[in-house]
Structure 1
Amino acid sequence: MRRIFTRFTLLLLLVGACYAGWTWRDRIFSLTETLFPPPGSSEPTPDPETYTVLSDDLEAHRKRLGQRYLQASSETARIEILAQARDLLEMSLPRLMRCWLGTPWDFNGTAHEPGAGKVACGYFVSSVLQDAGFRVEWAPLAQQASQNILGTFIPSDKMKIRVGMDYHQFLSEVESSGTGVYIVGLDSHVAFLVVTSGGEIRFIHSSGASPYCVIDESREEARVLRSSNYRVTGNLTASKDVIRNWLLGEKFKTLTL
């Protein structure tokens, strides 16, 4: 009888362990990758020279498109120019972000260009947007909670707030929301999500987890995104208002609470 009871107890423990492992699989995976990073990984080098060229080139394109928009004689023509501006931003923003790769992270980092010191997640987002031609309040924006950073650009009804959602379900929802450059806010983090026409999702951010620098990660590698319980997203480049304000050099007033 005692032997049967012992076996039954062990079976219950095994079932419980399997259930717990499945329930917390994303967090376990994240912790494992943090403790045992993949071999052979190396940090890229920041590229401030290319960054400056890209920023200047994008600004020149923005001004030309802005003039065409103001001179357009029909709504159809203006809509076409906004579409061109969106394409330009969706091509240029990820290039600007990747010039920061390898720039060290620090919670108090305020670097304003790639490799020029350490950069916190909010300052990375704010700097990239400012250098892409968005007239933002650089430091006030960088210091806001992630939902306020996102709310500076798009209204709350255009945001998607998810708490406790399964990671793969979250990614499917983002992918189905369409291509674009998103801002994503997490438990205590803010970053970019880039969704391509081919369905690829890139998580680009100044990471406060290993390797503690600006990194560009695939959906499989994005352990900070995976482990967060809270996620708020908004597609910047899908918003005609955001594109128009960027095109015309309008100011983006920082949302504060």
Structure 2
Amino acid sequence: MNTIATEIFPYWYGTKWSFSSMTRTPQKGRIACGYFITNVLTDVGFNIPRIKWAQSASEVFIKILSKKEIKRFMNKPITDVEEYLINSGNGLYLVGLDSHTGFIYVDQNKVRFIHADYYEPEKGVVSEKLNSYSPIAHSKYRVIGKLMSDLMIVSWLKNERIS
């Protein structure tokens, strides 16, 4: 999970956002939020239905990947979300919003939202604080699932299709 945050995400930073865009190459072309998520997961070796999930509601794949470790927030301040994440511990999370998706990375009480930013499409993929001017801070609905459960790791090691 540290490798994804420190070595994979940086390749994608600056890849411009565009609705329905699906570049497979960081820094070339444009990418939508769902494709950013599924590209990263595929690139690190998870056998998932990349295109199908990228085009679905994020809660669909969050439930599949996170199993029981899911938390929903409805009309709650972003400070409640951040407190939950810090108390849940270091790790990589997926988050689904009203009309967006991204990763959340928690490391030593620092919480970052990594996503293909449609607020500033030319900035594209960014890492920002939760309370920044971003979709996560303004969303009324947030569903969060922690990644890298034992079941997810076993599927990854066995190269089993997760669907």
Q: Which TM class, normalised by the smaller chain length? A: over 0.9
TM alignment of 1:187-226, pairs within 5 A: 187-196=98-107, 198-212=108-122, 213-221=124-132, 223-226=134-137
Residue 217 of structure 1: how far off its partner (Å): 0.7
Query: 1:104 is matched with which residue: 3, 10, 16?
Result: 16
Q: Find the counterpart in structure 1 of residue 81 from structure 2.
A: 170
Which residue of structure 2 aligns with residue 116 of structure 1?
28
In structure 2, the gaps of 5 or more residues are none
Distance 2:18 2:69 in 1: 31
Equivalent residue for 1:142, pick from 35, 45, 54: 54
What whole-Å deviation, never above 9, does each CA across 1:97-138 have from its counterpart, x for those lacking one? 121011010011111120221100000000000000101111
Taking the aligned partners of 1:251 and 1:223, their CA distance within structure 2 comes to 33
1:204-239 Cα distance to aligned partner (Å, 9 max, x none): 0001102541111123425221111000001102x1
Aligned partners of 2:133 and 2:87: how far apart in 1?
A: 19
Q: C-alpha displacement at 1:153, in angstroms? A: 1.1
Match of 1:235 among 121, 143, 146: 146
1:230 and 1:249 map into 2 onto residues whose CA distance is 33
Which residue is 1:45 aligned to? none
Matched ranges for 1:17-56 at <5 A: none
Higher RCO structure (Cα 8 Å, ≥6 apart): 2
Q: 1:221 to 1:233 in 2, by over 3 A?
A: same
Q: Provide the secondary structure at the position in 1 that maps to 2:119.
A: coil
In the alignment, the residues of structure 1 paired with residue 39 and residue 64 of structure 2 have an alpha-carbon distance, to the nearest angstrom, of 15
Determine which of 93, 112, 124 is the counterpart of 1:182: 93
- Give the whole-Å Cα distance in 2 for the aligned partners of 1:134 and 1:113: 17
How far is the alpha carbon of 1:151 from its aligned partner?
A: 1.9
Deviations 1:161-189 (A, max 9, x none): 11001111111011111111000000000
Residues 1:129 and 2:80 are matched in the alignment: no
Select the structure that is richer in helix: 1
**Partner SS state of residue 101, structure 2:** strand
Mapped to 1, the partners of 2:15 and 2:128 lie a distance apart of 15
Q: 1:184 to 1:109 in 2, by over 3 A?
A: same
Q: Distance in 1 between matches of 2:78 and 2:104?
A: 14
Relative to the length of structure 2, the TM-score reads: 0.93
The 8 Å contact of residues 203 and 222 in structure 1, kept in 2 or not, is answered as: no
Looking at structure 2, the residues matched to 227 and 137 of structure 1 have their Cα atoms a distance apart, in angstroms, of 29
User: Which residue does the alignment assign to 1:30?
Assistant: none
Q: Which has the larger radius of gyration?
A: 1
Query: In structure 1, how many angstroms separate the alpha carbons of the residues matched to 2:25 and 2:146?
Result: 24
* Larger strand percent: 2
Report the counterpart of residue 161 of structure 2 in structure 1: 251
Q: Extract structure 1 runs of 4+ deviating beyond 6 A.
A: none
Q: Secondary structure at the match of 1:124?
A: helix
Structure 1 window deviating more from structure 2 (181-190 vs 170-179): it is 170-179
CA contact (8 A) 2:18 2:121 kept: no
- Give % identity: 32
Whole-Å separation in 2 of the counterparts to 1:246 and 1:130: 10
